[in-house]
């Protein structure tokens, strides 16, 4: 498919509606994909698809290769014969607007165990196990060890306590089901002329299978604890910077293996999606390293990354890849040089377009860009406008007031229907690709926000109402795609 001049929707699968407490790969997913096709949207942008940890962030996963079992559809388990109709007859009354992660995990874990009891290995399962054994076996063993050691960090695993073989097999079954269901979703996307745009985090979670298995590749002390962790210095999102807590890489150690872990990581990601947004692209040039134990990211330092050497190796092994560089924030000429050398499009975010520089304003775009109205880390556009207006009213001499005036002058409006003003600006811009968060298409306020960087709890739980997709909305988006040539 020719990707020039197209648009799409940013929506993580957990945000889909449905009766099982969390969006999954069942009927509502297919309904959403049909909506994309009917509204002439050719991209579905999802966040990282890995199994999430205790804070529910897609950017903090138990594995860089595994899929999130919470996305497995119970209805597809029933259709596969692992469950029967009675197993799905007494579903708890979950919230339809928010994911209640603890309750969902509890319910789905019991359901998955019941499905596993009805599962028997097939030829398809054995093919999957053989093809993915290089990461599947260590991941399932890690999850088995975590269960046997009552959930403690891998640095505290008792070497005398082995994983139960049944638990290891259970986690392999979950991965088989995730990949089976995802492959069916991806095939439906292809039929509907929709490509999937994925997202690869720069770092991985410390208490995960990758750091446990490849500990020499991470900056750890002798007991396995992180010596330094990643983040970013103070920026637009946070005055204290962002402290992610993920262990930094030992790039020289990774280089000894020809960056094999990274090669496999890119290859695996692109089996699941058609193109890939590389989060925190600047980290490949220089990354912000903070001593472990610090309360904020203020007292870190920039450390040189692998740069072009890593991508030369990846290209040699895998060829040219369909990647997009996340180059937001304070970006140096060296970062842009690397992006240019690799030939990757960068990102612009319309919400960032009304400071004095105006870099993210459509009149300053070129074609080789992906334009977002906002990202998963931004407020919704309506919520952003309401916050900006509030700040401007509180202090008429503030930068917020100056920014508000620029927005009003640019759009010749007083803020009514601001989300769709942004949608129209993104769609009619010169940028080859425009991505619209579903919240902006639905014109939602701050209650629809997905993530607040720096806030530890209460993120990632937004879901849209099943009645939100209407024929009128579909027609409106389709018409805009037509008139903007997308």
Which residue numbers are catalytic? 279, 326, 377
Q: Which residues contact 275 (CB under 8 A, 6 or more apart)?
A: 3, 195, 196, 197, 198, 322, 323, 324
User: 130, 122, 115, 135: which is closest to 75 by C-alpha?
Assistant: 115
Is residue 71 within 8 Å of residue 178, measured between CB atoms? Answer: yes
What phi and psi values does residue 63 have, to the nearest 5 degrees? -160, 145
Label residue 252 exposed, middle or buried (CB < 10 Å: 0-12, 13-18, 19+). exposed
- The closest of 163, 284, 210, 167 to 50, measured between CA atoms, is 210
Residue recorded with tokens 């960090």: 153
Q: Are 354 and 361 in contact (CB under 8 A)?
A: yes
Pull the structure tokens for residue 30.
């297919």
CA distance 84 to 90: 12
**Among all chains, which residue has been given the structure tokens 């060890």?**
145
Strand partners, 218: 249
Nearest C-alpha neighbor of 26 from the set 170, 173, 180: 180
Identify whether the C-beta of residue 251 lies closer than 8 Å to the C-beta of residue 221: no
């Amino acid at each position: 498919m020719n990707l020039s001049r197209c648009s799409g929707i940013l929506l993580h699968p957990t945000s889909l509606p449905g009766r099982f407490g969390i969006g999954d790969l069942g009927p509502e997913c297919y309904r959403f994909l049909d909506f994309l096709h009917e509204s002439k949207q050719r991209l579905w942008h999802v966040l990282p698809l890995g199994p999430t940890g205790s804070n529910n962030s897609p950017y903090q996963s138990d594995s860089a290769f595994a899929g999130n079992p919470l996305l497995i559809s119970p209805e597809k388990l029933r259709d596969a014969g692992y469950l029967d109709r009675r197993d799905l007859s007494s579903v708890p009354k979950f919230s339809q607007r928010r994911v209640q992660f603890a309750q969902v995990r509890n319910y789905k874990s019991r359901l998955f165990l019941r499905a596993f009891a009805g599962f028997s290995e097939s030829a398809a399962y054995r093919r999957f196990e053989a093809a993915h054994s290089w990461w599947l076996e260590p991941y399932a063993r890690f999850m088995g060890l975590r269960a046997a050691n009552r959930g403690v960090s891998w640095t505290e695993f008792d070497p005398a306590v082995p994983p139960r073989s049944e638990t290891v097999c259970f986690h392999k079954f979950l991965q088989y089901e995730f990949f089976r269901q995802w492959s069916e979703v991806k095939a439906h996307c292809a039929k509907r002329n929709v490509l999937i745009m994925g997202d690869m985090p720069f770092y991985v979670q410390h208490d995960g299978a990758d750091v446990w298995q490849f500990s020499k590749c991470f900056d750890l002390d002798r007991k396995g604890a992180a010596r330094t962790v990643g983040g970013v210095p103070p920026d637009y999102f946070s005055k204290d910077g962002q402290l992610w807590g993920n262990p930094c890489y030992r790039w020289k150690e990774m280089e000894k293996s020809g960056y094999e872990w990274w090669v496999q990581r890119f290859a695996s990601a692109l089996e699941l999606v058609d193109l890939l947004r590389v989060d925190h692209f600047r980290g490949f040039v220089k990354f912000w390293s903070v001593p472990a134990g610090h309360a904020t990211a203020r007292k870190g330092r920039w450390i040189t990354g692998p740069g072009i050497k890593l991508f030369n190796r990846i290209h040699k092994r895998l060829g040219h890849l369909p990647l997009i560089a996340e180059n937001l924030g304070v970006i140096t000429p060296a970062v842009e040089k690397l992006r240019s050398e690799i030939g990757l499009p960068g990102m612009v975010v319309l919400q960032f377009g009304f400071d004095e520089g105006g870099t993210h304003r459509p009149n300053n775009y070129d074609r080789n860009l992906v334009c977002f109205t906002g990202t998963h880390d931004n407020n919704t556009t309506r919520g952003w406008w309401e916050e900006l207006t509030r700040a401007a009213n509180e202090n008429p001499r503030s930068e917020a007031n100056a920014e508000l005036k620029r927005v009003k002058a640019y759009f010749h409006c007083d803020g009514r229907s601001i989300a769709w003003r942004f949608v129209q600006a993104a769609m009619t811009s010169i940028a080859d690709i425009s991505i619209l968060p579903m919240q902006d298409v639905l014109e939602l306020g701050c209650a629809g926000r997905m993530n607040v960087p720096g806030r530890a709890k209460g993120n990632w739980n937004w879901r849209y109402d099943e009645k939100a997709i209407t024929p009128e909305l579909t027609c409106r988006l389709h018409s805009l795609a037509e008139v903007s040539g997308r």
